[in-house]
Amino acid sequence: MASIKVCEKCGIPRHVAKQTVWRDNGTICQRRNPDHRSVLIESENIDAIFGGIEDAIGASIEHIVVESRRRSAYDYLDHMVPDVVKKIVNKVGFRPVFRRVSKIGRSLGYGDIELVDVRRKYREDDYLGVRIRDPYSIPLFCGDITAAIEVFDGRQARITHEKVAADTYEMTARFIARSTDLKERLAWREYTYKEGNVGFERCPGCGVPLESERFMFNLNKGIITIMPGGHRVVGIGSAALEAIFSELERELGEIIPQLVIDAQRRFVTGGYYTRQGISAQFDFRKQLALRGLGNLCEIEVSEELLRIRLENACLHLMLVGLLQGFYELTYDRESEVEWELGEDDVLVVEVRPAG
C-alpha cells in the first residue's frame, strides 16, 4: 500500500493541506477550484438520512442516490480533469490512476479502496472489480466509481455490490454503451459568499487551522474521526449532496426536505450523541467553520428558544435537523422548528418547545 505523507506539525495529509483552503468565512474550498466547496461531516449521518427517507416512503432510494451521485461526480470530474490526462488514462489503463484515487480516497475518509480486477478490451463483457473496506457510504461510493469510469473511459457502467465480510464490500462495474440522454445534468447550487472573521490559528507547517488536530486520520483504513467523541467524518463536496437532495425532491415530491430534517433530528436524538458530548465538543462557531458549514454570526440558546443566524450556509436541511435534535437532546422535550434560507445563503433557524 502506497504511503501518504502527512504534515509533521499537525498530522494532516499533505495532499489535503495542499489542495484545500479553510477560509475565515466558515467555508472550505479547493485551492485550484474555489467554486468547489467541501465539508467535513459525520459519515453515519449520510446513510442515516437515506435510510430515514426509505423508512418513510416504504421503498428503496438507492438507485436514485447512485445515479444522482454519478451525475454530480461526473460533472465535477469532467470539469476538473484535463483532456490530456483523460487520454493518457484511456491509453495506459486504470491501474496507475487507481493507485492515486485510492490514496486520495483514504485521505478524505472514504475507506480502504483496492482495485481487484479489470478487463477492458472494449467488448460487452468488460468490467472493473473493486474491494472497499469500511466504506463511508455504499450508494455514494457506487456513484463515485461509475462516474470515474465514465470520465476516463467514455462508457457508463452498471454496478452491483456484495458484502463479503464485516465492513468489506466487493463491487463489480460492468461497462455499457454511453446513454444518449447524458446531456441532462444535475442543477448545481451556486453559493454566494460573505467575508468572515472566524480567526483560525494556523499550523506553521501546512497552514490548515490548528483546530484540525481534532481530526484523527487512520490512513491505512481510510477513516477520519473527530475528537472528542470519536465520530467518523468524511470530506465531501457539499453541492453534490445538495444536488442529490434536490433530485430526490424532484423524483419523490415536496415531502423530501422535511424527511431530511426529521431523519437528521432522529439521528441526533437516537443515541449517536449525548448531552455531555454536545456540551464538550460543540463550540458551535468554531465547529461549524472547521467543518465548512458556514459562519455563525448570531446564536441565542435557552429552553424557550434556540436561534441561530448562519452566513455562507450549506447543507441547510441537515443543519436544521441537527439543531432541532441538539435542542431536544439538551432539554429533553419535543420541539418545533422554523427556518429560512435567504438568496444570499444566510440561514436563520428557530427551535422552540412543541405546542
For 199-255, what is each residue's pLDDT tens digit?
Answer: 889 999 999 999 888 899 999 999 999 887 788 999 988 888 898 898 889 888 899
Q: Is the pLDDT of residue 95 over 70?
A: yes
Give the SS3 label for residue 254.
coil
Model pLDDT, residue 281: 47
Task: Provide the percentage of residues in the chain whose pLDDT is more than 70.
Answer: 93
Residue 340 within a domain? no
For residue 303 the three cell numbers come to 429552553
Please work out, in degrees rounded to the nearest 5, the angle formed at the alpha carbon of residue 130 by the alpha carbons of 128 and 131: 160
Q: Which residue has the higher pLDDT, 175 or 73?
A: 175
As a whole number of angstroms, the distance between CA 216 and CA 37 comes to: 22
The per-residue pLDDT for range 263-277, each reduced to its tens digit, is 999 988 987 776 665
As a whole number of angstroms, the distance between CA 270 and CA 273 comes to: 8
Residue 156 within a domain? yes
Residue 353 within a domain? no
Give me the helix-helix angle, 316-331 and 256-267, nearest 10°: 40
Residue 339 within a domain? no
Name the residue range of residue 143's domain: 1-292
Neighbouring CB atoms inside 10 A of 283's CB total: 12
Span 313-341, mean pLDDT? 94
Q: How many domains does the chain have?
A: 1
Contact between 28 and 37 (Cβ < 8 Å): yes
List, as own/partner pairs, every contact residues 79-86 make where C-beta atoms lie below 8 angstroms and the sequence separation is at least 24, other chains included: 79/33, 80/32, 80/33, 80/36, 81/151, 81/152, 86/151, 86/152
Bond prior to 228 in cis (omega within 30° of 0): yes
pTM, entire model: 0.88
Residue 320 within a domain? no
Model pLDDT, residue 68: 82
Mean pLDDT for all residues in the chain: 87
Contact between 101 and 148 (Cβ < 8 Å): yes
The per-residue pLDDT for range 277-313, each reduced to its tens digit, is 555 445 788 889 999 999 999 999 899 999 999 999 9
Quick one: residue 337, left, alpha or beta (phi over 0 = left, psi -120 to 50 = alpha)? beta
Length of the chain, please?
A: 355
The per-residue pLDDT for range 15-46, each reduced to its tens digit, is 889 888 999 999 999 887 788 889 999 998 89
Torsion over CA: 24, 28, 31, 34 (sign): negative
Model pLDDT, residue 276: 60
Model pLDDT, residue 275: 66
Q: Which residue has the higher pLDDT, 163 or 182?
A: 163
The per-residue pLDDT for range 40-90, each reduced to its tens digit, is 999 988 988 998 889 888 989 898 888 888 887 787 777 767 788 788 877
Model pLDDT, residue 280: 45
Residue 37 within a domain? yes
Q: Is the pLDDT of residue 1 over 60?
A: no
Model pLDDT, residue 352: 97
Model pLDDT, residue 327: 93
For residue 332 the three cell numbers come to 429533553
Q: Is the pLDDT of residue 180 over 80?
A: no
Residue 46 within a domain? yes
Q: In Å, how far are 17, 144, 217, 222 from 9, measured between CA atoms? A: 12, 32, 14, 20
As a whole number of angstroms, the distance between CA 354 and CA 232 comes to: 31
Least confident of 121-125, 176-180, 256-260, 330-334: 176-180
Model pLDDT, residue 230: 86
As a whole number of angstroms, the distance between CA 119 and CA 150 comes to: 15
